[in-house]
Every structure is written in C-alpha cells, then in structure tokens.
Amino acid sequence: MARLEGKVAVITGATSGIGLRTAEVFVAEGAKVVIAGRRVAEGEALAAKLGPSCYFRQTDVTDEAQISALIVEAVDRFGRLDCLFNNAGGPAQTGGIENLEVAPFDAAMATLLRSVMLGMKHAAPHMRRQGSGSIINNGSIAGRLAGYSSSLVYSAAKAAVIHLTRCVAMELGESGIRVNSISPGAIATGIFGKALGLSSAAADGTAAMMREVFKTAQPIQRGGLPDDIASAAVFLASDESSFINGHDLVIDGGITGGRNWTVQQQGYAAMRQAFGVSAD
C-alpha cells in the first residue's frame, strides 16, 4: 500500500522547488493534497497535472485569513487534515546588522516565521478533533549554525522556526499531533537566484546550475535535490514516524558535520610542508 494512502495534506510554497516536488511525491504515495502558492498559473498547472487528488488555492501565507481559508478548504474538500507542510519561504535582505532596514526585516519574518505560526495555529484545532496529525516545518541548516546563509535575517528566522517547532511539539504532542522540522542544506532550487534578484521564472531555471555548484560542498559529492526533502517529508507525514516529535531532521549531505576529509588532509599536507617535515 502507498505510504500516505488515505491521508490529506496541505503544502505551502508548492508552485516550485521543494514544495512542488513534495506535492508530486505525496500524491504518488496516495495522499490527497491541497497546494498553496502565490502564482496562479503554476499552481493550477500542477493541480491539473496531478489530477483529482490535488487542488490548488492561491494563498499569501503572511495573511491569517488566507491561511485559515486554506486549511478549511482542505478539510471541507477532503474531510480531514493529516499533514501540514509549512514550506513557503523566500530570500531575505542581506548585509550587516548596521545596514538592516526594518520594513524588509519585518516582511522576511512574516514570510519565514509568522506563516509557520499561522499554519500551525489553524491546523491544530482540526488535528486535535481527530486526535492525530503531523506538522512539518521547513527549517534550514542556516538556522542551526551561523554562516550558512548570505542573510543573517534568514538565518535568524529559520532558527526561530526550529525552536518554535520544538515548543509547539511539546504542546500538541499531548493531543497526538507530531510537530517536526526539516533543515535542508545546499538544495538546488531557485531560491538562490531569487536572493540575487532574479525573477521567479528565471530563478527556477538555475536549479541545474546549482547542482553543479554544490557538488563538492559536502562529503556526499552531489548537489542536494528537492527529492531529498520530499522523501523526508513523506516519512514524517507517514505512520512510520509515529514516535518522532520535536525533532529537526537535517538533510545536508554532511556539510554541517565538520570539515571535508580532503580539505582537512590538504591543510595537513600544507602544514607539514611549511614546517619542513617530510611525508611518511
């Protein structure tokens, strides 16, 4: 049987990248999915491609009324809500602390953090009535360690997402609802192009190039793929993870594990040479 057979999920930020691929995999695994995003043409095209098990609702995830309506849509259309994947996000302003501007800071926090809070707030009552559910929040390795994003605002927001996940997990776990986060590493999506100012359409076309860029960024010698995150989301949405709660699942090919072996060995060889010590 498919791993998500009979389950109903809401996925935000589903018109590109990780969200799009997760929607495809969820439907393939038997779930009924309501996908959300700002781009109507892309969202409707994906829903048409995935068939009657998928419905698109245009949603601004920073707007509480729209988030509430999104959750209600899923329950009204498919009868229940088993999973919420708070995936929507985007780049944040760059620069040092002295040059940050309040309006872009607030806008980034609304997209990256407030949207997660709103999703959980409005999903929780439906899941409480069922006595079950899985909420998955998209974090980042930038929220675990400094220096893994070009934006300190993005890093701070993702750190807050990871900790908010833990806090809510302690509350909702008592009602049979699991709350976990996924922290991707270098995943080849359009977010990097968007951070550099490219349009959404142009940024989405840079994913293949980013796979090449990220090949040697971590011990696993390939760029991360949306499939890597989608597979983890399937696991956390399924009953296979029924005893996992309050966990941040890092999917980064080992980049945050430490220095790559080859880099460390090259440094060691350079030090021996500088000291005039011959190799063994």
The Cα–Cα gap between 228 and 205 comes to 19
Tokens describing residue 272: 């021996």
HSE, side-chain direction, 13 A CA sphere, residue 262: 6
In angstroms, rounded to a whole number, what is the distance separating the alpha carbons of residues 144 and 188?
A: 19
CB 81 within 8 A of CB 58: no
Residue with tokens 């040059």: 99
* Annotation marks residue 154 as catalytic: yes
Reduced to 3 states (helix: H, G, I; strand: E, B; else coil), residue 55 is strand
The secondary structure element, H or E, covering residue 209 is helix 207-213
- The total of other beta-carbon atoms located within 10 Å of residue 217's CB is 18
Q: Rounded to an integer, what distance in angstroms lies between the CA atom of residue 123 and that of residue 118?
A: 8
Q: What are phi and psi of 269, to 5 degrees?
A: -65, -40
Q: Which of 55, 148, 154, 268 is catalytic?
A: 154
Handedness of CA 113, 116, 26, 177 (dihedral sign): positive
> Residue 24 class from Cβ within 10 Å (0-12 exposed, 13-18 middle, 19+ buried)?
buried
Query: Catalytic residues, which ones?
Result: 154
